[in-house]
Amino acid sequence: MIIQGGCLCGSVRFEITGQLYDTHHCHCSMCRRHHGAAFSTSARLNPDEFSWLSGEDLVKVYESSPGIGWGFCSECGSSLVGTDNGEIVLVTLGTIDGDPGTRADSHIFTGSKAEWHDITDNVPQFKERSNTG
């Protein structure tokens, strides 16, 4: 399976040649602020299966914790990937073209979710981190 995606302005494009896994809706305050939404939806990937197709020089990384960061397009601000010690380990599903081939298997950090948002699906919820990652 080849998965492609990119940012809002189209300057940054990427490709993933493997499967995504550990897909989750994160409700932590950092993800809410970074994405400007009630939660962010991301999936893990094998770093060796990720490559930039265009615009890599436009990607900036904000390090939210030591060694942990979010890569975003410096032109349009789209949140694209998550990094761990410089390696790309997550992709935000909102930037994927078409079906990413995965569905959320957990809501994580629900202990700090937005008070104005109600979770109404049957996906398992974890007050902190999920039991898978």
Taken as a whole, the chain contains a residue count of: 133
Cβ atoms of 59 and 72 closer than 8 Å: yes
Cβ atoms of 106 and 24 closer than 8 Å: yes
Where along the chain do its domains lie?
3-112
- pLDDT on residue 8: 97
Grouped pLDDT means (10 residues each) for the chain, 133 residues:
96 97 91 89 97 98 92 96 96 96 92 92 85 49
Side chain identity at 90, as an amino acid letter? L
- pLDDT on residue 133: 46
- pLDDT on residue 53: 98
- pLDDT on residue 130: 57
The full DSSP string for 64-125 is: EETTEEEEEETTT--EEEEEETTEEEEEEGGGBSS--S----EEE-GGG--TT----S-S-B
The verdict on domain 3-112 having CATH code 2.170.150.70 is yes
